[in-house]
Amino acid sequence: MSTRLILIGPPGVGKGTQSALLHARLGLKTMSSGDIFRKEIEAETDLGRMAQRYIQHGELVPNGVTIEMMAKRLRDEDTRKKGFVLDGFPRTDRQAEALDEILFEMDMGLDKVISIEVPEETILHRLAGRMGCTKCGEIYHSRNKPPMREGLCDKCNGPLFVRTDDQPQTILERLRVFKETTEPVIGYYEKTGTLLRVDGSVGPEETYQEILAGITA
Ligand code: ADP
Ligand code: ZN
C-alpha cells in the first residue's frame, strides 16, 4: 500500500508521535521539516546556520529554502514506492501550492491531510517540560512521562535534550505563527475534500486509531 499523508496542527499536538507510529506500523516514509532543520543545525551546515536564526525565535524559515529542501526529499523514488507522511510541511499557502506542483510533476496525489486538534491549554502544558532523546527520538515530559533516570533515555540510554525553541516565550510565538499562517492551509485542504480532523487530546494510541479508520475508510 502506498499512502500519502500530511499531518498538520499546532506545535506540541503530537505530529511527531503519530508519524513515528505511521512509519512503524505502515512502513510509510516520514519527512519532518523540523527534524531535517535540526539535523542541519547540528551538522553546522550553511542551511542549518540560516534556519537556526528563525527557529530560535519561533519564526518560520523562509519559503524558498524550505520548499527546495522538501522537494529534494519528495522526489526520491522511495516516496513513490513506500508512500509518505509529511510532518510540518506545508505550513504556508505558498508551500501548499509548491507541494501541489511537485506532486503533479511526479503524477502522485494526496490521500489525506490530517489535522490533529487539541485545546490550547493542553499544548502549553505539553511543550513546557518536553524532552527528547538525542539518539532514538523518544519523547519524554517532566511531569507526564518522566524518564526513569534523569536526563537519560529509558529505551537506549541516550542523553535527553530540551529543544531551544521550547522556551515559554518562543512557544507563544510558535502558536501565534500557527494561527496566523498555518491555520489557513487547513482551509485550503478542506476545500479540496481531503481533510480529516482527529482528536489529539485522547492519547497517542486512540489518535492513531482515528487516523487509521479515516485513511482506510
Ligand atoms: P513544532 O511543530 O513543534 O513547532 P517543528 O519541529 O515542526 O516544530 O518545527 C520547528 C521549527 O522549524 C518551526 O518553528 C520553524 O521555525 C521551522 N520549520 C519547520 N517546518 C517549517 C516549514 N514548513 N516552513 C518554515 N519553517 C519551518
Ligand atoms: Zn533513546
Does residue 37's CB lie within 6 angstroms of at least one atom of ligand 1?
Answer: yes
Residue 67 is part of which domain span? 3-118+193-216
CATH label of the domain that carries residue 32: 3.40.50.300
The answer to whether the CB of 74 falls within 8 A of the CB of 102 is yes
Interval 162-186 mean pLDDT: 93
Evaluate: CB of 60 within 6 angstroms of ligand 1.
Answer: yes
The yes-or-no answer on residue 176 being catalytic is no
Q: Which amino acid is at 121?
A: E
Phi-psi region of 193 (alpha: psi -120 to 50; beta: other; left: phi over 0): left
Q: What is the pLDDT of residues 4-20, one digit of tens each?
A: 999 999 999 999 999 99
Output the pLDDT for position 1: 57
- Within a domain: 158: no
Compute the C-alpha angle 40/43/44, nearest 5°: 85
pLDDT at 217: 78
Element containing residue 186 per DSSP (H, E): helix 183-192
> Would the pLDDT of 100 be above 90?
yes
- How far apart CA 22 and CA 208 sit, in angstroms, is 8
Whether 31 maps to a domain, the answer reads yes
42 in a structural domain: yes
Residue 130 bears catalytic tag: yes
pLDDT given for residue 193 in this prediction: 86
Does residue 132 form part of some domain?
no
Ligand nearest to the CA of 137: 2
Which of 29, 91, 112, 126 is an active site residue? 91
Answer yes or no: 149 catalytic. no
Count of domains in the chain?
1
SS3 112: strand
